[in-house]
Amino acid sequence: MAAANGQRRTGGPRQAGGSPQTGGPRRTGGPRPARPPGPGGRGRRADPARRAAYDVLIAVEQRDAYANLLLPSVLAQRGLDARDAALATELTYGTLRGRGTYDAILSLCSDRSLDRIDPPLREVLRLGTHQLLATRIRSHAAVATSVDLARDLAGQRSAGFVNAVLRRVSTRDLETWIGVAAPPRDADPLGYLAVRYSHPRWLAAAIAAALGEDPGGEPTETEAALAADGTRPRVTLCAVPGLADPAELIAAGGAPARWSPFGAYLDSGDPGGITAVSERRAAVQDEASQLAAIAVARAGLTGPDRWWLDMCAGPGGKARLLAGLAAERGAHLLAADARPHRARLARDAVQVTGAAAAVAADGGQPAWAPGTFDRVLADVPCTGIGALRRRPEARWRKSAENVQALAGLQRRLLRSALDAARPGGVVGYVTCSPHLAETRDVLADVLRDRDDVEVLDAPAVLSEVPGLRGPEPGSRYAQFWPHRHGTDAIFLALLRRRG
């Protein structure tokens, strides 16, 4: 993409333009005409698309809002047309994905440290930097609209500060800035990759460890994984077995999924406009999420196969698919979640199948007797860092301390899941995280104390999917990756009670 000064802006975080679901055009023109003066005669000149993006960014920063939940409602409330909505979506997600890179650059362009800049102005600067370095928006328009936004928020003096900083940013393209702001690649490969691909260093190190790469060497696959976190995920649909067929989704504009027999990819359009989705016979669900549920249903067991449990079921994506599979076999699913609102979401997801019930119940303090279930899914609470393409702000909210804080809960839920399965039954342990402390470490700790559990070969159960095995010798766990599979980085272990 060509910069206004004729340089080509390349490298850096791979922001994708347009909506994370439907794509959309990038706007190359300047600011829209100013709005009429507000109360007191003060002009409100902020461009509506940029103001919408800013409002979401500041809510994410100050209120821990989720961009994927807040942005659609902001766009609807403001009544933005398709062009402005596409621009606001690109600016929101692009700024969140590139924040680490942009902060490193801004720290060199500002005479104040970032933590001393008022949060509203800091978000305006990040938003302006994204426009300057990772979009086709002309430099003068990116600076001018950011200055207008700063003036609306904080007055003329703050607008002058934003103008000065962004003009410094505009003197180099992204590739050149990364060369200045990041540590030298040969001296600190991981530090370089963390800045270039906009990840906290601890998270880049965790991904390298999960891939089995030496972060001080040539972490080439780590680089591919970090780059993939900055891409726009495709929308994947899942047909509920027995109620919808992928052919119906394909006829509505989808393309066949590579591996899930119930999946279809949607490159454009509103999923809610598809009849099967509006009738809840299909839903949006990542392909790795589908395959994890399919593996739990597919894994071999001994004895009857009538009672299934999803013990952390909210909001219900995997439970919906499991319920459909259970209905086809004459089995019944119990979907449980400790949080009542998530249990209600799970109930809404599974009731269409007629083969499931949902309850608010803590899987760690179960309301069911030990050995009740033939199949158990423990999709445990985790950091969610495997879904950074969909929730880019998660990388800035989580820390190594958050990982450790979840460790006790994850172990407790896995032990409870094993106890809930009868001898001969199957348990699936799933996280939307590749972090070793949430995956292999949890299993090692729990299985060390149990002689009644065998580890099944999860990659063999999903033999149609390549590249699932971990780097350790004899790995029997499955790990999905965005750069290998185009999915969330979901981890799966399959266990069977001996009996």
Cross-strand pairs, 373: 421
- Run of H or E residues at 475: none
Report how far residue 395's alpha carbon sits from residue 142's, in angstroms, rounded to the nearest whole number.
26
Q: Is the distance from CB of 99 to CB of 203 less than 8 angstroms?
A: no
Burial of 112 (0-12, 13-18, 19+ CB in 10 A): middle
Q: Is the distance from CB of 496 to CB of 423 less than 8 angstroms?
A: no
Q: In the chain, what's the furthest Cα-to-Cα distance?
A: 79
Helix residue ranges, H only, 305-448: 317-329, 340-350, 394-397, 400-420, 440-448
Sequence-separated (6 or more) residues with CB below 8 Å from residue 489: 225, 288, 385, 386, 387, 432, 433, 434, 479, 480, 481, 482
The question of whether 432 is a catalytic residue gets the answer yes
Report how far residue 484's alpha carbon sits from residue 56's, in angstroms, rounded to the nearest whole number.
31
Length, in residues, of the chain: 499
Q: Interior CA angle at 97 toward 479 and 26, to 5°?
A: 120
Choose, from 238, 312, 382, 432, the residue flagged as catalytic. 432
The token pair that represents 319 in the structure block: 């439970």
Q: Is the distance from CB of 146 to CB of 54 less than 8 angstroms?
A: no
82: left (phi > 0), else alpha (psi -120 to 50), else beta? alpha
Long-range contacts of 361-365 (CB under 8 A, 24+ apart): 361/336, 361/337, 362/338, 363/311, 363/312, 363/336, 363/338, 363/413, 363/416, 363/417, 363/420, 364/338, 364/409, 364/412, 364/413, 364/416, 365/416
Report how far residue 164's alpha carbon sits from residue 184's, in angstroms, rounded to the nearest whole number.
28
Q: Which amino acid is at 397?
A: R
467: left (phi > 0), else alpha (psi -120 to 50), else beta? left
Residues marked as catalytic: 432
